[in-house]
Amino acid sequence: MDRPLYADSVVRLRKFARGMIMCQANDSRTNSISPEALKRRWDELRENRPQLRIREAASALEVSEVELLATGCGENATRLEADWLSLLNGIQSLGPVLALTRNDDAVHEKTGFYQSIRLTDTGGQIQGENIDLFLDFRHWHSAFAVTEQTRQGARDSLHFFDRDGTAVHKIYMTESRCIPAYRALIERYRSEDQSQRQYVEPPVLNIDSVAAVAGNDRLGQAWHERLIACGAVPYQSTEPLQTERLPPSSFRRFMEKASEIGAGLTVLVGNAGALQVHSGPIEKLMITGPWFNVLDDGFNLHLKEDALAELRLAERRAGNTSVNTLELYDAAGRHIAMILFEHADLGECFTTDV
């Protein structure tokens, strides 16, 4: 799908953003455990489950991800200054990187360049080559540079967190030739505070962050025009022209059909602080346990199929035309992801035998 489809058709995201741009965080945490004790518990957990990711480890240890990560300060983690505008502008020097935005049930990964960075102190947009992001800095509180040991060797990345310790966005280095620029960036924004304790706050649920950004006059006219193109600014026609409820099994059939015919899709996944977009066809699909995966060059999607409770097929107005959306919900009625499409043949894979 070429770029104009996204620019002209992604209208009426306000209600989607209300569900998807929310804090899908863990329960309220305490900091009663010392960093030293937490680190020991994590080391023991890794001995028994070496492939466990930090997000799952934090859940198992009943702490937030950022609390667990902070125990590595002075070793494999470096706390950074929270100067989002300057820091993110510096990402342009790092060459192609992998941008990762996720919520509890979907992971959206794009490899490309951080360019066309239009940010204010409240948020903004990054629209580089193969990277398309909306950011809300109200939900950016802390940042860390991280070095992880993998089977392929050391992997460097930047992790950004909300006040409740939930990761809102991550950036992974992909080329070794750009590591010197990465090291220089880390030194430039290295915080004086390298303590191993990170305090967190209780989560705030149901934050309509895109709507809040849309109402911020300080963002400038160009940013507002972009928000209008993506439907974050309210329209009189935000209500769908029609909506059809579908069983969760329709999702896999839809994706398989889209891959088969090469249909262009716009795939959106978000959380409280970031909304990440992919526009284009999908090709390589794979099922791994509960996860449905798109494994294409430059774009990966990992979606937990057993979290799907309901799909809604909606037709929504986009200027003088309309666009079809497939909206994915969990059992609590929260958005997991949203997919926009135009190809008529995709409608054949849907069933209403709920």
Reported as a single tens digit per residue, the pLDDT across 269-301 is 988 899 999 999 999 999 999 999 999 999 999
The order of strands in the sheet holding 299-304 is: 77-80, 142-150, 153-161, 167-173, 97-102, 106-112, 299-304, 291-296, 285-288
What CATH number should be reported for the domain holding residue 222? 3.40.1570.10
**Mean predicted lDDT score pLDDT of the chain:** 82
Question: Do residues 325 and 314 touch, judged by C-beta distance below 8 A?
Answer: yes
Residues 218 and 86 in one domain: no
Domain closes at, from 134, 156, 189? 189
Residues 156 and 264 in one domain: no
Residues 13 and 98 in one domain: no
Question: Which tops the pLDDT comparison, 348 or 244?
Answer: 244
| Segment (H or E) for 245 | strand 242-246
Euclidean distance between CA atoms 268 and 132, whole angstroms? 10
Kindly provide the b/e burial profile for residues 82-117, where b requires at least 16 CB atoms within 10 angstroms of the residue's own CB: eebeebbebbbebbbbbbbbbbbbbbbbbbbbbeeb
Write the single-letter amino acid at 215.
Answer: G
User: Is 196 inside any structural domain?
Assistant: no
| Segment (H or E) for 339 | strand 335-341
Euclidean distance between CA atoms 13 and 11, whole angstroms? 6
Q: Tell me the per-residue pLDDT of 4-16, one tens digit each, with 9 for 90 and over.
A: 344 443 334 433 4
User: Is 126 inside any structural domain?
Assistant: no
Residues 98 and 233 in one domain: no
Residues 70 and 172 in one domain: yes
The dihedral sign for the CA sequence 86, 92, 95, 100 = positive
The count of domains in the chain is 2
Question: At how many degrees (to 10) do helices 54-61 and 35-48 cross?
Answer: 120
Residues 185 and 41 in one domain: yes
Euclidean distance between CA atoms 254 and 56, whole angstroms? 29
Distances (CA, A) of 328 to 56, 146, 215, 311, 344: 23, 32, 26, 5, 20
Euclidean distance between CA atoms 302 and 291, whole angstroms? 6
Residues 39 and 19 in one domain: no
Residues 301 and 345 in one domain: yes
User: Is 50 inside any structural domain?
Assistant: yes
Mean pLDDT value of segment 53-60: 94
Instruction: Quote the pTM value.
Output: 0.83
Cβ neighbours of residue 310 closer than 8 Å, sequence gap 6 or more: 245, 246, 248, 328, 329, 333
Euclidean distance between CA atoms 228 and 20, whole angstroms? 18
Residues 239 and 326 in one domain: yes
Question: Do residues 317 and 211 touch, judged by C-beta distance below 8 A?
Answer: no
Distances (CA, A) of 137 to 66, 69, 123, 199, 271: 17, 21, 5, 18, 12
Instruction: State the burial class of residue 285 (Cβ atoms within 10 Å of its Cβ: 0-12, 13-18, 19+).
Output: middle
* Integer Rg of the chain from CA: 20
Euclidean distance between CA atoms 162 and 272, whole angstroms? 8
Q: Which of 138-147, 149-158, 199-208 has the lowest average pLDDT?
A: 199-208
Question: Do residues 123 and 213 touch, judged by C-beta distance below 8 A?
Answer: yes
User: Is 325 inside any structural domain?
Assistant: yes
User: Is 254 inside any structural domain?
Assistant: yes
Domain extent at residue 315: 3-23+206-349
Residues 45 and 162 in one domain: yes
Residues 39 and 180 in one domain: yes
Q: Tell me the per-residue pLDDT of 335-347, one tens digit each, with 9 for 90 and over.
A: 899 898 877 677 7
Residues 13 and 64 in one domain: no
Please state, for a pLDDT cut of 90, what percent of the chain lies above it.
62
Question: Which tops the pLDDT comparison, 341 or 160?
Answer: 160
Euclidean distance between CA atoms 55 and 168, whole angstroms? 12
Cβ neighbours of residue 143 closer than 8 Å, sequence gap 6 or more: 79, 80, 81, 82, 87, 158, 159, 160, 161, 189
Please state, for a pLDDT cut of 70, what percent of the chain lies above it.
76
Instruction: State the burial class of residue 81 (Cβ atoms within 10 Å of its Cβ: 0-12, 13-18, 19+).
Output: middle
User: Is 201 inside any structural domain?
Assistant: no
User: Is 217 inside any structural domain?
Assistant: yes
Q: Which of 37-51, 69-83, 315-329 has the lowest average pLDDT?
A: 315-329
Question: Which tops the pLDDT comparison, 332 or 346?
Answer: 332
Euclidean distance between CA atoms 325 and 327, whole angstroms? 6
Nearest to 308 by CA among 239, 245, 238: 245
